[in-house]
Amino acid sequence: MKRQKSHSISVYNLTPGTQIVGYWHQQTFTIIKPLGVGTVGAVYLVKRQDQALLALKISDNSLSITSEINVLKKLSKVRGNRLGPCLYDRDDWRINSINCYSFYTMSYIKGRSFNEAVRNASVNVLFTLISQLLDQVEHLHKAGFVLGDVKVENVMVSDDLKNISFVDVGGITMMGRSIKEYTEFYDRGYWQMGTRYAEVSYDLFSIAMLALHGIYQKPFKRQEKPSAQLSKKMNQNPALKPYRTCMEKALHGRYTSAKKMKEDLNLITAPSRKRTRSNTHVPSIAHTSIGELIILAVGSVVLFIVATFY
Amino acid sequence: MNKGTLKQILLITDGCSNKGEDPSVVSQKIHKQGIVVNVIGILSEGEGSDSLLEIEEIATSGGGVSQLVYPNQLLKTVQTVTKQAMNQTLKGVVNQELKQLLSKDQSIDTLPPDQRGEVIEVVEELAETTQMELIVLVDTSLSMQNKLETVKEALIDLSITMNARIGKNQFMICAFPGAKTVTEKVMDWKSELKDLHAVFPKLTSRGVTPTGPALKEAFYQFSQTDLMRSFEGETTEEPFDFSL
Ligand SMILES: Nc1ncnc2c1ncn2[C@@H]1O[C@H](COP(=O)(O)OP(=O)(O)O)[C@@H](O)[C@H]1O
Ligand SMILES: [Mg+2]
């Protein structure tokens, strides 16, 4: 909304070498490269004057930045929390008397977005990552928060596919409140399958949708009967078969904890040493079925046409 | 701080006003009474975003938020605009209090980061707990025909967002132009927006879009429901006067 207004300088396309100086603490941060742009702000890899490499998030929406800083501060007090980056600096960049942008720095997380990371991975690897995410989310839930805005852009995976991290704290909401930020595809309200209350089952629904997104590699639009549509999606891909029960349970809010869902997943992804070894032919996501891809392609064309003539 | 009810009008339209008072002038008067006016302009395919300049003007003078969207973005936009305007209003109210507490030229944005964080927490707490009265004012002129189904979906979605809050909500839907009157109340105050199938039965022919008069009538719907007082800081002493 605000982004469309023309500023003399845009914090969304700062070039390498640009120096950001904090007004309150006088630290200098030199931009090395952009890491990504989201709905709230832009994130850059920066070098602080003491040579530390950090990720810096800046936006023209100071309310959102401040709110995210508050969340990061609270998370830092949660014991055993491994979810998300750590907060380092918080400051304002006052370019002149009119243009002032709030920013904060956090630990730089190396890796790729969830979608890219799992593109050529097996379904098994995908769910092993999901299980790891659930483990972290369990800690968060115990501390009284939900993730909220789960989506492929906000979940990063290390290049060796061993570690998964959550980067965007903008959606993290205190339990019992209304979800602060969400993205339609992952939101059970959009799918007419529940409320936007911050509770355990809200996250588990979006994590199941994250898995579906990783498998189909792109989101799909809601149709006439959303719940049935999702069930169909689950049946379309044969590689998903072992996970169907678990996924359905998550989508219908029948898990009471992330831990329970994780345990169910672990039974499938790593049932026993013997079975894993004999399981040499793990179907890869990218090679699931060409027919499926065609259906998807045709489907989106139809949707596009419908949308155009709406 | 006086815990009141937030009052908003959300205008959804796809064209410019061409009858009656200037909607921006009306909107400014409404805002002076502590009610915020938000505007969503629905674009047709191929229509540029400069075609509905009036929309930003109405929202700005109404202390609210405006957005131009294509029908397929309406779902997310209706709730974003509503929440953003809520935060903006509450931030304004808190700012007002701060000025009294600290000094005239202090504001949330000039506070040091740590203190600002505490203040923002208060704003968020308020956004979660205040009561809300929202009148949705929908343009139902003929050009809106294909868009009303999407509008309904977006309103149902808005209710899901708003009702996940701790604070209570009241919604009303008005359509304009009405068959005989300027606006027509199509749904009286309710705590939820659902079962909207029969809400917009009649479409009126293209030609007149009396946005200004419609806003004025929507405003009077609030006055009739003297449920709660508006925020203290928002109201002015001068009596409400629509005479131009
Ligand atoms: N700590 C980080 N380390 C590395 N990359 C990051 C980090 N934080 C964010 N990013 C990248 O920047 C993008 C946008 O950041 P995000 O916090 O999600 O912004 P928004 O709140 O606007 O969605 C992310 O999708 C991710 O690719
Ligand atoms: Mg993001």
> How many interface pairs between A and B have CB atoms less than 8 angstroms apart?
68
Asked if the model's pLDDT at residue A289 lies above 80, the reply is: no
Same domain, A127 and A190: yes
Please give chain B's pLDDT, 244 residues, in tens: 345 799 999 999 987 788 889 999 999 999 999 999 999 999 887 776 666 788 999 999 999 999 999 999 999 999 999 999 999 999 888 888 888 887 777 888 889 999 999 999 999 999 999 999 999 999 988 888 888 989 999 999 999 999 999 999 999 999 998 877 889 899 999 999 887 877 776 666 656 889 999 999 999 998 654 434 443 344 443 444 444 3
Same domain, A198 and A241: yes
Please name the helix (run of DSSP H) or strand (run of DSSP E) that holds residue B172, with its range, or none: strand B169-176
Same domain, A119 and A217: yes
- Judge residue A89's burial from the number of C-beta atoms within 10 Å of its C-beta, 0-12 exposed, 13-18 middle, 19 or more buried: buried
Q: Do B157 and A189 touch (CB under 8 A)?
A: yes
Residues sharing a CB contact under 8 Å with residue B95, sequence separation 6 or more, in sequence order: B107, B108
Q: Strand A145-146 vs strand A112-113: parallel, antiparallel, or unpaired?
A: unpaired
Residue A289 lies in a domain: no
Residue A8 lies in a domain: no
Which ligand ends up closest to the CA of A153?
Answer: 1
Q: Tokens in use for B141? A: 């002129």
pLDDT on residue B197: 75
Domain boundary among A106, A141, A156: A106
Please name the helix (run of DSSP H) or strand (run of DSSP E) that holds residue A33, with its range, or none: strand A28-37
Q: Tokens in use for B95? A: 């700012």
- Judge residue A199's burial from the number of C-beta atoms within 10 Å of its C-beta, 0-12 exposed, 13-18 middle, 19 or more buried: buried
Residue A12 lies in a domain: no
Residue A174 lies in a domain: yes
B120 closest CB neighbour out of A70, A92, A176? A70
Same domain, A117 and A162: yes
pLDDT in tens, A8-57: 468 999 999 999 999 999 999 999 999 999 989 999 999 999 999 999 99
Identify the band that residue A290 occupies on the pLDDT scale cut at 50, 70 and 90: very low
pLDDT on residue A18: 96
pLDDT on residue B204: 61
Asked if the model's pLDDT at residue A275 lies above 70, the reply is: no
Prediction pTM value? 0.86
Same domain, A227 and A99: no
What is the Cα–Cα distance from B15 to B144, expressed in whole angstroms?
9
Same domain, A94 and A234: no
CATH of residue A78's domain is: 3.30.200.20
pLDDT on residue B199: 79
Residue A154 lies in a domain: yes
Same domain, A186 and A83: no
Active-site annotation holds for A264: no
More confident call, A182 vs B235: A182
**Which residue, by CA, sits nearest to atom 4 of ligand 1?**
A109
Annotated catalytic residue, options A89, A91, A92, A149: A149
pLDDT on residue A304: 42
Residue A278 lies in a domain: no
pLDDT on residue A112: 95
- Helix residue ranges, H only, B180-235: 211-224
Full set of structural domains in chain B with CATH: 5-43+50-231 (3.40.50.410)
CATH of residue A235's domain is: 1.10.510.10
- CA angle, residues A173, A177, A179, in degrees to nearest 5: 55
Same domain, A231 and A258: yes
Number of domains chain A contains: 2
Same domain, A76 and A148: no
Least confident of A56-65, A225-234, B177-186: B177-186
Domain boundary among A50, A81, A106: A106
pLDDT on residue B200: 75
pLDDT on residue B208: 81
Please name the helix (run of DSSP H) or strand (run of DSSP E) that holds residue B24, with its range, or none: helix B23-32
Q: Do B164 and A179 touch (CB under 8 A)?
A: yes
Domain boundary among A50, A77, A106: A106
Asked if the model's pLDDT at residue A276 lies above 70, the reply is: no
Same domain, A62 and A161: no
Residues sharing a CB contact under 8 Å with residue B203, sequence separation 6 or more, in sequence order: B140, B141, B142, B144, B145, B148
Residue A64's closest CA among B116, B225, B142, B1? B116
Q: How far is A48 from chain B (nearest CA, A)?
A: 19
Same domain, A36 and A79: yes
Residue A217 region, left (φ>0) first, then alpha (ψ -120 to 50), else beta?
A: left
Domain of A123, in residue numbers: 111-273
Residue A255 lies in a domain: yes
ipTM of this complex: 0.85
Same domain, A42 and A142: no
CB A121 within 8 A of CB A127: no
What is the Cα–Cα distance from B1 to B206, expressed in whole angstroms?
47
Residue A296 lies in a domain: no
Q: How far is B117 from chain A (nearest CA, A)?
A: 6
pLDDT on residue B143: 82
* Mean local confidence (pLDDT), A140-149: 95
Asked if the model's pLDDT at residue A186 lies above 80, the reply is: yes
Q: Any CB–CB contact under 8 A between A99 and chain B?
A: no
Nearest ligand 1 atom to alpha carbon A109: 3
Residue A212's closest CA among A255, A181, A244? A244
Asked if the model's pLDDT at residue A295 lies above 60, the reply is: no
